[in-house]
Structure 1
Amino acid sequence: MPTSKLMPLAVALFALGVVAIVAMFVAGEPGLPGWVFAAGWLLAPAGLALGVFSAVRSSRSRG
């Protein structure tokens, strides 16, 4: 089974987004800069979408 080169990037983006979301809950709203909120809102969904795209692309048969 060939491995996709996009999947490690997708996992990294998703993990960074989840870390940012956890940081939001731990630190509370007033204690964090705006880029942490942007990272939580953008990186996790982008990583998830890229992972789904990578999985679908790698599962298609090569014709």
Structure 2
Amino acid sequence: MSTSKAMPAAVVLFALGVVAIVAMFVAGDRGLPAWVFAAGWLLAPAGLALGVFSAVRNSRRRA
């Protein structure tokens, strides 16, 4: 089974987004830099979307 090159990138993006979200919960009320909030807000959904797109494209290629 071959995977596209986009799938590992999607996993990395999603993992970085999840790490940023966990960092927000761990930090609590203490101030975090704005890039942490932006990373949590953008990276996890972008990784999920890229992963779904890659999986759909890979399944259509084989059919």
Normalized against structure 2, the TM-score is what?
0.91
With 1-10 and 16-25 compared, the bigger mean Cα shift is at 1-10
Gaps of 5+ in 1: none
Residue aligning to 2:47? 47
* Count of residues in Structure 1 that have an aligned counterpart in Structure 2: 63
Which one has the bigger helix percentage?
2
Distance 1:41 1:16 in 2: 11
Normalized against structure 1, the TM-score is what?
0.91
Residue aligning to 2:38? 38
Gaps of 5+ in 2: none
Q: Structure 1: which 4+ aligned runs deviate by more than 4 Å?
A: none
Give me the identity figure in percent. 84
CA RMSD in angstroms comes to 1.4
